[in-house]
Structure 1
């Protein structure tokens, strides 16, 4: 099996036996992953679509953080749309053509790199707004222009890091010697051993370094400085802001650290002979931790958008407009609009004492 990097559907000879080792997932694992992925897909789709609608049609991306969060939602939405096909490929094989296969694998890779780097940009923007409050990009329009250029650079960089996945992802027939059946799989595939060894190490290494370690270090530095600034601030709402900081960092670590540790162990043992049962356990842990990492696309809208007072006021405006459209009542619309305006004014008054700390609830 020198031509593929598939985690499952591999047969190989164990070190202490001449029998083939079947590594395909058990029915219980398939059922549990199907339920988990369905929940992630549903909540991720709803949350990120609402964020995109709110920023795109109501909030109009007025700050740098708004631009970053809009792009994070787009990256997460790309992934949750591709997730059902990814799950189907891992469990049943690939039913579509080669082009769709490459797009599927590339969608996850682009989401990984762009989403994580954009979250690092969010932490950097909040660091400048709170810790380095005197530094500024000038006018609001100029700041938004800079943030859009940064987002464009992040997407281009993510696409560049995705090129190995795009180039080497192919369709191939995976033959099951036990059941004497063949399954069409969509995975990384290589024609020579040297390329296979290089890519099997380089692709997960880039994923761990750029998709996890770099954003984690940036977030830890920025949010540590922000925490120190908030602790020195005399504000009745500083404790709420500190809790938000803790939630952002802890959720990021809990979602991505287990998978990256499992991926590191998996990568380090790729070119060694492994015991069959140990390999099955390792792949089960890898699949489970990967599903936990997928949860981040559902939690991002809550942590970065819905927790903000201003964003919630725009979200309520969407709901009131939808309600008015369904009822077609001018009087009800007028009352709903006034009520939403009151929420906006109340939220702005509440956040006045925070000054630059309000970027956590912008």
Structure 2
């Protein structure tokens, strides 16, 4: 039987003891998890941090959020950058025995959950905005003329919904040390070292609450965090593709490829993990062989890392794919290069030159590109 001590209450442990013959050590799972945490996840976090920081920097210094898509893209970048900041802190806390205490357990896991939900729902909002802009262009003119009002309101609703869906994580996650009696009662005829590490996981006072929350939380994650955005994106982008194909224009056909790329990358990154999570949820309280349980957990660990990769790809798929956004990004690189040259020159003369150059450049760019939008198709 596959055993994970953080998944069970005292009543579960006694029931497992009555039916278990041999514990599952999960050595392969721990090795794979450690490899991903120490090598793969830091790379994902670094690339995601750089890409999303450039998006935020571009909006903050060079481009005003004039369209609904711009507002959504900025919020997606914020969600992704909070995610890639929270993930290494979670990994560090796990490696350091959650030394920062119970508050770090609740806060880091809660922030992780909020950004998971908000990021996925905001991608659905972007697909809805593309539907309005392309399929319902005439009908949605008045709505989109009040861009900042509606888009900001939608973003507030998304973040609040993500917070509500994450409340069980804030409430039931705790840093705790499994009691030695749990392991003695389970393995009274075996010789095992009692774990000395703290865990940060769900902890409940009753068996009924444990079963309810442990079933509800992953179910909502799969439903509201994946299948709902996927349904919205499928409906909206299918209508967009049909409309673009009817236009019979080269640029429109190029836009169809962009839409298909966005959807396929979304599916490739998130579908495997959510299918594995759904299967794990259905079979959570069913007795399993060690090999089968370990295979399921290994699948979840690997596919979860694949889902993390989407935070790196979002800037490329949504922001940098737009012509206007790429132009602003080029200006960032040019200004950084010119600022460096002027700084080297200023060491011999004065620092005034670089400051005047940046100020002039920013004002000129703002006046010429004030109404540009990202994700241009």
Corresponding residue number in structure 2 for 1:277 = 291
**Pairwise CA distance, 1:78:** 0.7
Corresponding position: 1:191 with 2:195: no
- Dislocated runs of 4+, deviation >6 Å: none
CA distance in 1, matches of 2:7, 2:126: 34
CA distance in 2, matches of 1:110, 1:153: 13
The partner residue of 1:233 within 236, 244, 247 is 247
Q: CA RMSD in A?
A: 2.9
Corresponding residue number in structure 2 for 1:211 = 225
Deviations 1:327-352 (CA, angstroms, capped at 9, x unpaired): 21759959x969x97xx89xx8xxxx
CA distance in 2, matches of 1:192, 1:137: 54
Corresponding residue number in structure 2 for 1:59 = 63
**Pairwise CA distance, 1:117:** 0.7
Query: Do the aligned partners of 2:72 and 2:122 also contact (CA within 8 Å) in 1?
Result: yes
**Pairwise CA distance, 1:120:** 0.5
TM-score by length of 1: 0.87
- Describe the shift of the 1:14–1:309 C-alpha distance in structure 2 as closer, same or farther (beyond 3 A): farther
**Pairwise CA distance, 1:107:** 1.2
Corresponding position: 1:361 with 2:366: no
Could you tell which deviates more after superposition, 218-227 or 273-282?
273-282
Please, which runs of 5 or more residues in structure 2 have no aligned partner? 184-191, 346-352
- Describe the shift of the 1:205–1:311 C-alpha distance in structure 2 as closer, same or farther (beyond 3 A): same
The partner residue of 1:147 within 147, 151, 160 is 151
Query: Do the aligned partners of 1:79 and 1:111 also contact (CA within 8 Å) in 2?
Result: yes
Corresponding residue number in structure 2 for 1:102 = 106
The partner residue of 1:21 within 12, 21, 24 is 24
Please, which runs of 5 or more residues in structure 1 have no aligned partner? 349-357
Paired residue total = 344
CA distance in 1, matches of 2:285, 2:292: 15
SS in 1 for 2:177: strand
Corresponding residue number in structure 2 for 1:78 = 82
Corresponding residue number in structure 1 for 2:350 = none
Query: Do the aligned partners of 2:33 and 2:301 also contact (CA within 8 Å) in 1?
Result: no
CA distance in 2, matches of 1:298, 1:230: 28
Deviations 1:11-59 (CA, angstroms, capped at 9, x unpaired): 9959985222223633354124421101110101001111111112211
Deviations 1:137-180 (CA, angstroms, capped at 9, x unpaired): 53866211110011011111111111111111111114685233
Corresponding residue number in structure 2 for 1:354 = none
SS in 1 for 2:166: helix
- Describe the shift of the 1:274–1:361 C-alpha distance in structure 2 as closer, same or farther (beyond 3 A): same
Matches within 5 A, 1:172-183: 172-174=176-178, 178-183=192-197
For the pair shown, which has the larger CA radius of gyration, 1 or 2? 2
Query: Do the aligned partners of 2:5 and 2:178 also contact (CA within 8 Å) in 1?
Result: no
Query: Do the aligned partners of 1:126 and 1:359 also contact (CA within 8 Å) in 2?
Result: no
Deviations 1:223-242 (CA, angstroms, capped at 9, x unpaired): 00100111111322122211
Which structure has more relative contact order (CA 8 Å, sep 6+)? It is 2
Query: Do the aligned partners of 1:48 and 1:74 also contact (CA within 8 Å) in 2?
Result: yes
Corresponding residue number in structure 1 for 2:301 = 287
CA distance in 2, matches of 1:310, 1:317: 11
